[in-house]
A and B are shown apart, each in its own frame.
Chain A
Amino acid sequence: MSFAPNLPLIRLLVVKDWQLFQKQLAAYVLAGIIALALLGLAKPWAFHLGATLLLVVLVAAACFAISTSLLVERKEQTLAFVMSLPVTPLDFTLAKLAGNLLTFGVPYLVLLGGTAMVILGTPIPDGFVVFAVLVFGHVLLAYGLSLAVAMRVESEGWNTFVMIASMVLVNPFIMVIGQIDAIAGPARTDAITWSAPALAILAAQILLFALAIAWTAWSLGRRPAFY
């Protein structure tokens, strides 16, 4: 068995996932523009509505990216068709990971940039950027874990559980970091302060996300056959 990935084929599979994702992306973009317009009204109710809408879009992008490209395809037995193509498990794993990271990564980065723009371009204290990045870090980690489980575990129930549980944990996570003085204190000032606890949490989030993706790629990619 060859461990050299078939890059042209992987590219085709990623493009396929990206094209199937267009409608979802258009919906996220529309919701993002509505959220930014609400934030631009500069009213407290509009700010809360806009910020909530941004978070909903972020979570929806994470869940639907996994659901469309993995869970729905599994239900429709797309893998059986893919197995008839000259594709190795390594190619398929890498294509699925790359496609998912792309379809989630684009809206994720756009929303992260939009949120930073909102904080730095409005009277909201600039220090709140650190708090927001940690919340985005949590969603990234939740997405990474959900993706890893979706690729490893066939049970739809377990997949749904992990996806919902990890995303819902964003609420307690916000409460917990809101209790840490080194994070909550500077968030109320105009200075952007990366305190030791903030850096540690962010590093842990990124490390765990990278581990989840790397472990998935390694464990699935080295299989000699799909089953």
Chain B
Amino acid sequence: MASADQTVDMTGIHCPACGTVTAGPYCHNCGFALEGRSSADDRWPQPGDRIDGDAALYLRGNLQCVGPGRRYLAEADDKARFEVYVAESAEVLADRAKAVAALGTYGLPARWTGRYGELHYAAVPLGEGTPVAEALARIIAERDHNEARVIVERWVLPLARCVADLHAEDKICGGLDPTEVLIDDQGRCRFRWPPTLHDRADTPLAPRRRRVHRGFSAPELYGRCGGGVGPRADVFFVGVLLYYGLARVAPMTEAGHSVDRLPAPHIYHADVPPELGAVARRAVSPVPERRYPDGEALLAALETALEVAELRRDTGRGPIGVDVGHELHIGVLKGQYAPQNQDDLFLAYHVDSSIGLFVVSDGVSISEFGSGDIASSCVRQEALNGWRLILDGHLAGDEPDDSVDVHDETLAGLGEPTPTLPLDFEGRCRFLASLLDQANRRIGQLVQQEIPHFPGQPEGIMAATAVTALLEGNRVTLSSIGDSRIYLIRDGHISQLSIDHDLATQLLRLGRPPTVARSFPAAGALIRCVGEFDKDPDHQLVPVPLQPEFLELMVMPGDTLLLCSDGIPDYGGYDEEDAEERMRQCVESAPGAPWAAFELMVLANRGGGGDNISCIVLRFHDDDRPRAS
């Protein structure tokens, strides 16, 4: 490189940044400083130049080069795309060829090598592959046009297979670049620029100066989490691609942070099969130990999740057995300073019709008018009223229900009212919404009875969260308002189905970065709950129509649904991720739903019990009831 005081010929040279022929100290096109450009630089080809070899290649632009030398995008006469790598010595090209060979079928070998003046070059055919970074940009741009499963199969699975293959050969990449990974229409994965492969036996690799790809690189590549890099860094890369593909969001720099994990993908996009969401979240855990140990384990989990998601999608309505357990506890620490349990439960199940209603409600502990326990009991009361409507058959739909099995007919034959539910999803949502609206009105009436002319702000009125599950056979309609949780546990994974209605989550959904949303003042404040009112000029409370969120799911044998207040995830582990993992272990290791519920209560108390604890566990299994004939 020439020093600044060397004489440099500035007349009519190619700008190395944009390829324009320019003069003067700065490129007139892109503003790149040309000072210090030496005659040695002129040895290198420039965009627009032609390189002759087995075919004539026209250099179209520069590519970022991580090794010694320069890279160019080139095109042959037949429009075939090439990448040209130019280096000062043949050894450098040989090193690259060695790295490509180590990748086996995942490498892109040079078609030919040659000389360019005193330099050496390799011409690499690029084929039809698309860089995953480009594919991701397309997925995000078309966020509502692609099904999650299709995205995963098209873009993530090939990469997962590639990483699994490399790990099976005890090779790890230790950091991948999304612009260098190509995936073609046949689902083949290729590395445009070969990553340096390391022997697995040499891991963890020590922290050093390295290039990271913000939003794609694991925290340990930055030096975080101890800085030791191993196969889990590759798992993270595949996982983060899966995550962005499911959430259809642009890469987040928070992906490399070591403390807070990425938000659940379903808060960004409704079409996220819970199984795939759970795999993504585990693969992108900021704590390396919590991720899948290697690419093979990730691939196995991903394939299982895809199978289950497909099975769940194709499952028709039918009978299923359910084992129910529940617990309600004040919380050992919470009970020391707040003797009233503000959580409440409702659970009812009609065995013959396989219809059930399950509600968990968590009263908000800080309120100026009323108290959380009264608010949650209002939810329970209204759940009871709703259940009576179901039992009395007042919720019958207009169309015959194909799913009604022989048990319903038997019941009908006895002349008793048949428990019924609306047939369509919207009808069931309306039912659940009305149940919550009734609870809201009841809260308003209780306050108004005590304070006919309400003086304060409606935000100070007692309130409660509510998560509900309306079950009919294997069809479950879920609703949630507030920050109580619904989880689905299956195949060693746990995924949250509900969306927390707190300020932080709302900001995330509005596109704020996770670090901003989580550090926002009062980030944990509820923005939706049962207990929302306006005040009219006469100081009368006017209930606001509530906006719970709904979801319908076909459950399968082996599924467990967990409805719980936040006392369990908040105190069940060292952090939310750890708590969820422990919750999963409790549920999966328990011999039955009641044991699981008890273990969950113990788990939260062992972790401090700083909040009231309530949970309902629904474990589904094959319907083994004798059928009436």
Partners in one complex: no
Residues in chain A within 8 A of chain B (CB atoms): none
